[in-house]
Structure 1
């Protein structure tokens, strides 16, 4: 992870870090003793890597279910089933036999067998913008008693306070957040946590990494409690099921994510947040896990276009299973500033999977300088976009402001560009700013929880999406457009509709 110092301790009221996240972390800026840092947007980092696992395989059923004897049949093909997601027609297996995929693919009832993929979920941001008018005034609301609520411009953008004032706060809804590790003892999260689990071998759900905690941040945006301590979530009375499917370092396997989705469905989640993913080349160019990254002469580069296609089939089986069980799935669209209308060489997984609602990111530029008039709905500089790729937009933050001025804003002394990012919970009971479509997805997930809560805690995902669509603010070109999809989500309008 690329890091550089921020300058001097500039937050006298409470200790806040700054993290640029692109699906996850890019920069972790820690206060130091001087003001020598260059502007954040000059930082660069290589994009996410996707690696073929040489010994872990995903077995995909030809129908809804795998053969009942798949464990024994896989053993006969020299493999060991390590995870059986029978409800979704998926199994995960390991094998030292390089011919395992070919052998297991011949089992009756098996559509295909592909190698699992390891991916680095946190990717870079690049410049892109689109301006729309805004009106940035919050009414008095329940959020006012939380000290850092005034710094949460994203709630203003989606009219969350107005939604809370109608009585909609997500009560009765369990939201599963699939991410890296979490601060399970954070005072803003602990009141709403109903369970936690890890699918990452060797790591428990508690965040123990050296860097910033991506999972803690997304969880706080969804459902930080209204407890007068720090920040407040979009759905502050919803409950959190925290599911670790990425290492604290931000990498993970898609089989872990699929296992996490099935677990969430089976444990009463009604909304799943996926602030993670990777962009695949459709031609399937990957590094084998026996290879050497960043070596252009490496012999372990492989082309596996079928692997990309079948991975999407596998994940779509899992997401379709979730939808049939009444679970809404929301995912970040990705942070490559990719124009899906012009460049269709990439597949974004899981955002492109069946039934998944894909979210682009918006963010202001210089909000702290003109909080009442600054446009909060610019397409963020890093966000992917494309008419068919984006369902909705939501606040994800940005750091495109070109200056390095420091202001005192809402009692906090900070860089102007830093305040354009999303403030939420962080490790060790703290708070941090992040920017990315990873921050946009939990805003939309929170709105979905408000909608479902108003409906009594149960709602068909197609209906949830229909309400999101009918209530979204139609920004950009009329109708569905490349930047905002059907529009930027609006919590107040969503809960004010007849369901």
Structure 2
């Protein structure tokens, strides 16, 4: 399934930003706008670099992993004796974060009684933002069949909702009521009119950066949050679980990079805030051979690092699932065959208890909206067994032509309309914009939304094992019977999830 993605030219996308899976570069042209041209503010191009090898060992930052779930009682003093300083304790899971200028700190601290291992923290690149290009706002003609979300002007462009039968699920009365979803990502537009009503809290674990997006380019976190729970308010788009509440947790900087320690802290925080579901549209692929670059540019051989980092993260994810949190993550965008290439560990997708989501998308949907296959496996998505648990709409850019069409009131490239539309930046006047993106980062929030619908249908609380079992029972088995490398147990189905017998 691995394929090269060639460069291709594109229009400024008429105000809708675009996030393509990494490996695809595109060059701006300048078409003449007018007549049926639809401008939705914030045209942007980004590269979704999730699950790439772009990570760096942090030479002076460490993760201390306890033998069990309890940290040594005198850890601060013993860490100081080893020439280090504890900066944060995840006491509930037996993990601590420390700093040290001593290059032998890891060896010294690993000798503390009750400590399993000490490894370097890592920084990874989650996405690479590009500048915004702003155009005027316009609406799409609503031509979809009547449904709960039908009055939202951009709903007709959300093919992903159609693919998983979300409108039919909404019409049963199930819209995610009583469910709290934590979205762990980069910064968020906290005042976006399609999100504001559902946001109940926000937190940043990125030093020096607030949860509010203050960077340049498109906002990855705002996009994933909108797919999960954009409000049904007749303004723009609608989320898969439009009545779920959002806890927005920043674990990546606005420039797209983050440390694994921030991710672990974010998961723990969301668990303590009693989130029902955690969405993680982020990740990195770590080499099993233990060869890394550090932040000074040196090659470091640490054969235990990958294994121990996965142990540390799995302590946190296990704690979350034991406390009733369903964990969902993107599978990655390398078109990596996990059945053949076992040289990488994908974090957080490979951590204990995490449901990993691959991506699906149509080719040429705008040319045949009633007959296009919305469940084609996306060109960039990682796959393999057990690398993939479920599939969900993630969008693609594989359509081979450069035709421009007027589709439901929007003049756009055919291949761009195969991507996922969701919430984007907020202008100085407070108006919200909407952005097209593609990646397993976009698939995960579709699955998260379905999980929220399911949990809401069952009273707002549900054990993660029950959630997974119900998703398996309701998923559309699109590949080989049973679990297959591409769709896992199947592509999630919102209607079946909320109408099946408990």
TM exceeds 0.5? yes
Which of 145, 152, 159 is the equivalent residue of 2:165? 159
Shift of 1:270: 0.7
Q: Does 1:117 align with 2:129?
A: no
Matched positions, count: 466
Question: Cα distance, 1:69 vs. partner?
Answer: 2.1
Deviation at 1:75, TM superposition (A): 1.6
* 1:307 counterpart residue number: 305
Deviation at 1:140, TM superposition (A): 2.2
The verdict on how the C-alpha distance between 1:102 and 1:44 changes in structure 2, with shifts beyond 3 A counting, is closer
Q: CA deviation at 1:496?
A: 0.6
Match of 1:437 in 2: 440
1:16 has 2:16 as partner: yes
In structure 1, the gaps of 5 or more residues are 124-136, 292-299
Task: Supply the distance in 1 between the matched residues of 2:346 and 2:442 (Cα, whole angstroms).
Answer: 17
Give the match's secondary structure for 1:20: strand
Task: Give secondary structure in 2 for the equivalent of 1:195.
Answer: strand
Which stretch shifts more, 253-262 or 137-146?
137-146
Aligned residue number for residue 280 of structure 1 = 286
Find the counterpart in structure 1 of residue 136 from structure 2. none
CA contact (8 A) 2:19 2:48 kept: no
Are the equivalent residues in 1 in contact too, given 2:286–2:344 (CA < 8 A)?
A: yes
C-alpha distance in 2, partners of 1:71/1:380? 48
Residues 61 and 111 in structure 1, CA contact (< 8 A), matched pair in contact too: yes
Paired residue for 1:471?
Answer: 474
- Could you tell me which of 318, 321, 344 is aligned with 1:320? 318
Deviation at 1:17, TM superposition (A): 1.8
Q: Are the counterparts in 1 of residues 48 and 439 from structure 2 also a CA contact under 8 Å?
A: no
Alpha-carbon distance in structure 2 between the residues aligned to 1:469 and 1:138: 28
SS at match of 1:438: helix
Matched, 1:7 2:11: yes
Does the CA contact (< 8 Å) of 2:178 and 2:459 recur in 1?
A: yes
**CA contact 2:21–2:333 (8 Å) conserved in 1:** no
Q: Cα distance, 1:139 vs. partner? A: 4.8
Q: How big is the shift at 1:79?
A: 1.2
CA contact (8 A) 1:139 1:162 kept: no
Cα distance in 2 between the residues matched to 1:18 and 1:34: 19
- Contact 1:360 1:392 survives alignment (8 Å): yes
Q: Does 1:66 align with 2:71?
A: yes
Matches within 5 A, 1:91-490: 91-122=96-127, 139-291=145-297, 300-428=298-426, 429-490=432-493
RMSD over aligned Cα, in angstroms? Answer: 2.3
Task: Judge conservation of contact 2:48–2:126 (CA < 8 Å) in 1.
Answer: no
Mapped partners of 2:488, 2:420: distance in 1: 21
User: C-alpha deviations, 1:6-34, integer Å up to 9, x for none?
Assistant: 426x64xxx32222245xx9768878446
**Deviations 1:245-295 (Å, cap 9, x if unpaired)?**
00111110000000000110111211000000011111022111101xxxx
| Distance (Å, rounded) in 1 between the aligned partners of 2:53 and 2:398 | 21
- Contact (CA 8 Å) 2:20, 2:48: kept in 1 or not? no
8 Å contact 1:17–1:28 — kept in the other structure? no
What per-residue deviation string (whole Å, max 9, x for no partner) do you get for residues 149-184 of structure 1? 000000011000111011110011110000000001
| Alpha-carbon distance change, 242 to 425 in structure 1, aligned in 2, over 3 angstroms | same
Q: Structure 1, residues 81-127: CA drift from partner, whole Å, max 9, x if none?
A: 1111111111101111111111111111111010001011239xxxx
Give 3-state SS (helix, strand or coil) of 2:92's partner: helix
Deviation, structure 1 residue 208: 1.2
Distance in 1 separating the partners of 2:94 and 2:352: 15
TM-score (norm 1): 0.90
| TM-score under structure 2 length normalisation | 0.89
- Residues 198/45 of structure 1: CA separation in 2 closer, same or farther (3 Å cut): closer
Contact 1:199 1:245 in 2 (8 A): yes
